[in-house]
Chain A
Amino acid sequence: MRSEGLREVVYRPESELRSPLTFLKRIVDDIRGSFELTRSLLVRNIKGQYRQAALGYLWAFIPPLATTVTFVFLQSQNIIASGKTDIPYPVYVLVGTLLWQSFVDALNSPLRLVQASTSMMASVNFPREAILFAGLGEVLFYFAIRIVPVLFILPFLGGSLSWSILLFPLGALSIIAFGWGIGLLLVPVGLLYKDVEMGMGILVTLWFFATPVVYTPPVSGAMSLLARINPVSPLLACTRDLLVGGVVSLPVHFVLLSLVALGFLLTGWVAFRLAIPHLVKILNA
């Protein structure tokens, strides 16, 4: 008979923040206990997603490529005016689309995965972090498999890589962290009210056009204001410049926004932890 110290858990109605030390200890325990499950879920999600598709993982790369081709074509026909870019336009669009795609993936990831796991959360008590980590892992995985072919294509499009590329992963991480942090903050309300999910769909489309993904922001007018207050703009522009050796714009903004992303992320995480027991009760008890 096992008689060594048994782990004791206590559930109470009081807010978990009432005993911050226990709360922190549980977070640390859960992070420690979540690695294997994260790995299992990540493998499940990635393997499961394209197993029934003949083209398999190529599908991860096809949408951003299609966007690039579309905009390059539109620009070449003078249907849209992209503004002057200091790197070749196809490179500008391809890298921009890629980074934007990762931002949107990260933004949608927490709510999408938590939503898909409600019945699982209502029947097993596993470290809930695993769902989030698996989601983040998925975003990073798809970013990685998209960026590798891009690195090979770039020289053919007239792009040149520079030493600043070594800082590029940091930039990409900031963009992903920013999206993921906002996504996390949306989970508590978004899980209760579908309005969040539907609203986000529209918002993301508008946001795309307010971000220098496929064209440079105008220097004056309403659009320039929008581009300036849009926090994703400096993150995306900076990161793109790091990869293709453009002039790195707004480095201070970049650093500040990375810190904001970190703040979102930590707040979102705590909010998620506190909200889940309430959400499970309402959604699937």
Chain B
Amino acid sequence: MSMNPSLPLLEVQDVSIKFCRDLKRSLWYGLRSIALEMAGRDGSRGSLRQDEFWAVQGLSFTLKRGECLGLIGPNGAGKSTLLKALNGLFKIDEGTIRLRGRVGALIELGTGFNTVLTGRENVYINGSVLGLTRREIDRKFDRIVAFSEIGEFIDAPVRSYSSGMAVRLAFAIAVQMEPDILLLDEVLAVGDVGFRAKCYAAMQKILSRSAVVFVSHSMAQVARLCNKLIVLNRGELVYQGDNVPEGIDRYYGQFDDAEATTAGSGMAALSGIRLSSNGSDGKDPELLTVDYLAPLRLEMTLKVEVPVKRVQLGLLFYDRETRGIAQCSSESGIASIPNRGEPMRVSVTIPQIPFNPGRYSVSITVTDEDTGEILTTEHGFRQFQVRGSYFGFTPVQLDGRWRIVPDRLDELDCPVGNHMAV
């Protein structure tokens, strides 16, 4: 029945799930639905009763082997709910969910762990909760211990583990599943940097063999792993499709922009800040659009109090997750900006903006060159949108010069390789 590799492993059709906000009432509704279930009848499904709301409504999608669906949205969007429903953990209110093959779910790490027992004992317990047979665990035991880097602690009670060790052991067991369908909930970011790299490698291996649904708040992870995307917000479908970067952009659109702030000692003030690219400056409230690798120009009026003799200016670019992704300091351009106590007009041009398509913000910091004191910082005053045809999943997309190297020795001296264009 599944000889056909294009047969979806996961089929979701018009699925809706509702919940009740009020605890007492939800208990009562629950009791009624259990009674109806036992009587072989259907409960109130299509409509909402008092205090009920849709956590997921009318959702449909299919997933084949090798496909990874990212499920993103703000907190309370209904992502984890949907993931649990897909795993058959609770009853849906409308629609159909069809799964083919072995289902592995990583919704929580270390389910069934008993901290009084040893790591070894818990490997067997957690393994069998996840559906591994005793023989499978026997066979994989050494690999699990090696992966977790627990060493001789495997025979110590889990209570004596650091939280990192427990999570490493739990993850090591979980990656031993060989599922056809994998349901993952935000469990990739465990352990230190070294262990995370290992997790990714292990996960990538599973991804290539399975159909994966991946819930995450990390857009970096989503962009890296997923080739389909669903963006939910409070039961509403915000985006559904194959264009992951566009979906991520829509996800960011669910949040309000941070307000502009000014900080610092107040010995300097910035005004008349103007951001432009190729002559266009996208008047407020319109968003300034910058083409990939186009120049960006910033102009501002700077007024610094007299005691300060020389200042430095610094720009810091942020992505939507408010991670600093690039800097530009006047220190690397001009030696210093002397202060004459009068307002002066300063401009800076960045010849090429090599950013991934998306929205960015910039902050300007003025520092006293002699003391290093921050005189003023303008943050989040203006955003700009980078437009480009190629979407990657890192904030910076370097401009490379690519060519095929001829297969002859006499042409080895041809220019080749990457050319950084910042």
Q: A residues touching B (Cβ–Cβ < 8 Å)?
A: 1-18, 33, 36-37, 39-41, 43-44, 47-48, 51-52, 119-126, 188-189, 192-193, 270-271, 274-275, 277-282, 285
Q: CA–CA, A16 to B36, complex, Å?
A: 11
Of residues 178 through 205 on chain B, the ones whose CB sits less than 8 Å from some CB of chain A are 180
* Cβ-neighbour of B114 out of A36, A48, A193, A275 (below 8 A): A48
B107 touches A47 (CB 8 A): no
**Which residues on the B side are within 8 Å of A48 (C-beta)?**
114, 116-117
B84 touches A285 (CB 8 A): yes
Name the 10 nearest CB pairs between A and B, nearest first. Answer: A281-B90, A17-B40, A6-B101, A123-B108, A123-B107, A282-B30, A40-B128, A11-B97, A277-B91, A6-B100
Q: What is the distance, in angstroms, from B1's C-beta to the closest C-beta of chain A?
A: 6
Q: Which residue of chain B has the shortest Cβ distance to A5 in the bound complex?
A: B1
B5 at the interface (CB under 8 A from A): yes
How many residues on chain B are close to A (CB under 8 Å)? 62
**Which residues on the A side are within 8 Å of B101 (C-beta)?**
2, 6-7
Given A124-B107, A282-B27, A285-B84, also A40-B124 (CB < 8 A): yes
- Fill in one digit per residue for B217-244: 1 if any A CB lies within 8 Å of its CB, else 0: 0000000000000000000000000000
Q: CA–CA, A52 to B38, complex, Å?
A: 42
Given A8-B100, A278-B30, A281-B30, also A40-B129 (CB < 8 A): yes
Q: B residues touching A (Cβ–Cβ < 8 Å)?
A: 1-3, 5, 9, 19, 26-27, 29-31, 33-34, 36-42, 45, 65, 81, 84-85, 87-103, 105, 107-108, 111-112, 114, 116-117, 121, 124-125, 127-131, 133-134, 180, 209
Query: Which of A47, A121, A189, A278 gathers the greatest number of chain B CB atoms within 10 Å?
Result: A278
* Cβ-neighbour of B111 out of A17, A120, A274, A281 (below 8 A): A120
**Which residues on the A side are within 8 Å of B180 (C-beta)?**
2, 6
* Cβ-neighbour of B34 out of A33, A124, A278 (below 8 A): A278
A125 touches B5 (CB 8 A): no
B130 touches A9 (CB 8 A): no
* Cβ-neighbour of A126 out of B99, B108, B129 (below 8 A): B129
Given A3-B5, A6-B100, A47-B121, also A14-B33 (CB < 8 A): no
**Which residues on the B side are within 8 Å of A10 (C-beta)?**
96-99
A13 touches B19 (CB 8 A): no
Q: What is the distance, in angstroms, from A196's C-beta to the closest C-beta of chain B?
A: 12
B89 touches A277 (CB 8 A): yes
Cβ contacts A to B, 8 pairs, < 8 Å: A8-B98, A15-B37, A39-B128, A41-B112, A44-B125, A123-B107, A124-B87, A278-B90
Q: CA–CA, A188 to B108, complex, Å?
A: 25
B89 touches A18 (CB 8 A): no
Q: Which residue of chain A has the shortest Cβ distance to B85 in the bound complex?
A: A11
Q: CA–CA, A123 to B105, complex, Å?
A: 8
A18 touches B105 (CB 8 A): no
Q: CA–CA, A39 to B131, complex, Å?
A: 13
Q: Which residue of chain B has the shortest Cβ distance to A191 in the bound complex?
A: B30
**Which residues on the A side are within 8 Å of B5 (C-beta)?**
1, 3
Q: Which residue of chain B has the shortest Cβ distance to A17 in the bound complex?
A: B40
Q: CA–CA, A43 to B124, complex, Å?
A: 10
B30 touches A14 (CB 8 A): no
Q: What is the distance, in angstroms, from B274's C-beta to the closest C-beta of chain A?
A: 51
B117 touches A124 (CB 8 A): no
Q: CA–CA, A18 to B39, complex, Å?
A: 10
Q: What is the distance, in angstroms, from B118's C-beta to the closest C-beta of chain A?
A: 10
* Cβ-neighbour of B2 out of A5, A18, A188, A189 (below 8 A): A5
B112 touches A13 (CB 8 A): no
**Which residues on the B side are within 8 Å of A121 (C-beta)?**
89
Q: CA–CA, A8 to B97, complex, Å?
A: 10
Given A47-B121, A124-B107, A126-B129, also A15-B41 (CB < 8 A): yes
Q: CA–CA, A131 to B212, complex, Å?
A: 28
**Which residues on the A side are within 8 Å of B81 (C-beta)?**
285
Q: What is the distance, in angstroms, from A267's C-beta to the closest C-beta of chain B?
A: 10
* Cβ-neighbour of A119 out of B2, B108, B116, B127 (below 8 A): B108
Query: Which of B37, B98, B99, B116 gathers the greatest number of chain A CB atoms within 10 Å?
Result: B37
B121 touches A44 (CB 8 A): yes
**Which residues on the B side are within 8 Å of A282 (C-beta)?**
26-27, 29-30
B87 touches A125 (CB 8 A): yes
A277 touches B90 (CB 8 A): yes
Given A120-B111, A285-B19, also A6-B125 (CB < 8 A): no
**Which residues on the B side are within 8 Å of A11 (C-beta)?**
85, 88, 91-92, 96-99
B96 touches A9 (CB 8 A): no
A13 touches B95 (CB 8 A): yes
Q: CA–CA, A279 to B116, complex, Å?
A: 28
Q: CA–CA, A14 to B46, complex, Å?
A: 12
Q: What is the distance, in angstroms, from B108's C-beta to the closest C-beta of chain A?
A: 4
